[in-house]
């Protein structure tokens, strides 16, 4: 009987130890998902008003939920302020919709583009505030160029990623002023210097650059995009995510690092067939490895579908 009790105790101890080991298994995987342009005005507005903003993302919800972070390009200001800048296309979406974006699974919004400034600096500041209040982290915005160049950090399971965001195309009737709300307009040379400096102090951090660049409706990247991509990868970027052309441009690898030249649209109202083909960029970090995946998307009635 004593021998039987000893065996039982040893088995129980073994099971307990095994369970404890399973609980402490370390998962060093992080998955980030990036989309192209999200517009909540013009032709998209009726869908947002009558079906709800969250419904616009219903067909991609399963992919969103698998990611640790979902980063969109916010292609319009979210504000009650109506002080339009003198430009050709001017957008404005309702600030209450920021909470719907968060409910859809969106965690970050790139603001360095040519439309978040459509309602002036107060509209831009309002956009920043309502995103923050909804629990969405804005990128590429600040009161000074130094602030705008600061990356947003995302961490999970010991993996740290620094997200830089800038617009490199000219902006209509917009001036980069210090001590006023503004978006990052750093060119590739300035960005490369910022990346080198950050890399020197954070050698283990993964660096992703999100760029609003290129030429609209061109299916291939421009020579300037290619030169800029080479410069940023050489400076230490681990991946580049691009948008603005409204069409998909190819995924290429430079020194083994993925460059998504353009993801195309995402939630948008343009009618040309080429503008309704898009991709989501999925980056999965595990230890020192990075897996880059393009997820094709079809846009129908302004809504992205896998």
Q: Is pLDDT at 27 greater than 90 in this prediction?
A: no
pLDDT value of position 50: 97
pLDDT higher than 70, residue 10: no
| % of the chain at pLDDT higher than 70 | 92
Q: Is beta strand 248-254 parallel, antiparallel or unpaired with respect to 182-183?
A: unpaired
Q: Is the model's pLDDT at 178 over the cut of 90?
A: no
Domain assignment present for residue 6? The answer is no
Distance (Å, whole) CA 188 – CA 26:
37
pLDDT at 147 over 80: yes
- Domain membership flag for residue 98: yes
pLDDT digits over 218-237, tens only?
Answer: 999 999 999 999 999 999 99
Q: Quote the tokens at residue 300.
A: 């129908």
pLDDT grade for 4, boundaries at 50, 70 and 90: very low
Q: How far apart are CA 96 and CA 104, in angstroms?
A: 14
More reliable by pLDDT, 18 or 192? 192
Distances (CA, A) of 170 to 26, 212, 284: 46, 10, 32
pLDDT at 46: 98
Asked whether residue 15 is assigned to any structural domain, the reply reads no
Q: What is the CATH number of the domain that holds 120?
A: 3.60.21.10
Strands (E), 98-230: 108-110, 137-139, 141-142, 152-156, 159-167, 182-183, 206-212
pLDDT-derived band at 18, boundaries 50, 70, 90? very low
Q: Please give the structure tokens belonging to residue 272.
A: 């040309």
Q: Domain containing 259: what range? A: 27-305
d(CA 139, CA 159): 19
CA–CA separation, 85 and 6 (whole Å): 81
Cβ pair 268, 246 in contact under 8 A: yes
Residues 6+ apart with CB under 8 A from 227: 188
Higher-pLDDT residue of 94 and 11 is: 94
Q: How many CA atoms lie within 13 A of 114 on its CB side?
A: 19
CB-based contact 229:195 (threshold 8 Å): no
User: What local confidence, expressed as pLDDT, does residue 26 receive?
Assistant: 56
Question: What percentage of residues in the chain have a pLDDT greater than 90?
Answer: 88
Provide mean pLDDT across the span 252-265.
98
CA 306 to chain centre: 18
pLDDT grade for 11, boundaries at 50, 70 and 90:
very low
pLDDT digits (tens, 9 = 90+) for 62-72: 999 999 999 99
Task: Report the domain count for the chain.
Answer: 1
278 burial level (CB within 10 Å; 0-12, 13-18, 19+): buried
**Three-class SS of residue 70?**
strand
Residue 21 belongs to some domain of the structure: no
What torsion do the CA atoms of 41, 103, 242, 189 make, to the nearest 10 degrees?
A: 100
- DSSP string of 201-215, one letter each residue: H-TTSEEEEEEE-S-
Residue located via tokens 């629990």: 135
On whether residue 2 sits in a domain, the answer given is: no
Give the integer Cα–Cα distance in Å for 259 and 250.
Answer: 8
């Amino acid at each position: 009987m004593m021998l039987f009790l000893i065996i039982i105790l040893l088995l129980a101890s073994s099971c307990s130890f095994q369970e404890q080991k399973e609980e402490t298994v370390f998962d060093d995987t992080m998955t980030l998902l990036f989309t192209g342009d999200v517009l909540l005005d013009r032709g998209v507005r009726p869908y947002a008003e009558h079906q709800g903003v969250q419904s616009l993302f219903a067909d991609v919800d399963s992919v969103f939920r698998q990611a640790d972070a979902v980063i969109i390009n916010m292609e319009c200001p979210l504000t009650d302020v109506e002080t339009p800048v003198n430009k050709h296309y001017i957008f404005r979406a309702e600030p209450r919709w920021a909470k719907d974006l968060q409910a859809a699974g969106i965690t970050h919004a790139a603001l360095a583009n040519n439309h978040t400034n459509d309602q002036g600096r107060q509209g831009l500041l309002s956009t920043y505030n309502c995103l923050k209040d909804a629990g969405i982290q804005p990128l590429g915005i600040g009161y000074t160029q130094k602030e705008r160049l600061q990356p947003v950090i995302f961490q999970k399971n010991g993996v740290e990623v620094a997200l830089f965001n800038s617009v490199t195309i000219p902006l209509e009737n917009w001036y980069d002023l210090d001590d006023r709300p503004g978006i990052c307009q750093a060119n590739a040379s300035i960005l490369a210097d910022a990346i080198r400096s950050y890399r020197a102090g954070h050698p283990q951090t993964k660096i992703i650059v999100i760029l609003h660049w290129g030429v609209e409706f061109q299916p291939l990247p421009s020579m300037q995009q290619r030169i800029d991509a080479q410069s940023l990868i050489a400076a230490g970027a681990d991946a580049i995510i691009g948008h603005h052309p409204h069409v998909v441009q190819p995924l290429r690898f430079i020194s083994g690092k993925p460059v998504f030249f353009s993801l195309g649209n995402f939630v948008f109202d343009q009618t040309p067939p080429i503008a309704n083909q898009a991709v989501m960029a999925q980056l999965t970090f595990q230890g020192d490895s990075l897996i880059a995946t393009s997820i094709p998307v079809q846009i129908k009635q302004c809504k992205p579908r896998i």
